Amino acid sequence: MHNDATSLLVRLLCKERCKAYAARVGAYVGTAVLLDDHDDKLADVRVSLASADAAGDRWFGSVQGLAEDLKLDGTDVFVELPAGNRGKARVVIDLTGAEPLVRLVGNGPAPI
């Protein structure tokens, strides 16, 4: 069992470690543009993105508002945020549920 001083020290160390980690990871929920390799616009969409590591090289997300006639499953696209930040991702369409889910698997630095 920790005494009060030890508990306070542990909480402070955890808080600082969490702040340092949070400064290097990120999340974004909002609008984005999907672009092809030639910077041609494929779609305006709503995305939820999150980085999976502190370096920002592993990230993932989901897409809403993608037209069903766009056949992007397995395609690499660029995800461009309103501020101009970009990241490359592979589109994966999951058909196992009641509704299709469009997922993004980041390939390289995250746009967030």
Q: Is residue 21 domain-resident?
A: no
What six digits make up the tokens of 85?
């930040």
Q: Is residue 64 domain-resident?
A: yes
Supply the pTM of this predicted model: 0.75
Tell me how far apart the alpha carbons of residues 27 and 51 are, in angstroms, rounded to a whole number. Answer: 6
Q: Is residue 102 domain-resident?
A: yes
Q: Is residue 77 domain-resident?
A: yes
Specify the pLDDT at position 83. 94
Q: Is residue 112 domain-resident?
A: no
List of residues 6+ apart from 65 with CB closer than 8 A: 43, 44, 45, 46
**Which range marks the domain in which residue 101 is found?**
26-106
Q: What is the pLDDT of residues 62-99, one digit of tens each?
A: 999 988 888 899 999 999 999 999 999 999 999 898 88
Count structural domains, the chain.
1
Q: Is residue 80 domain-resident?
A: yes
Q: Is residue 14 domain-resident?
A: no
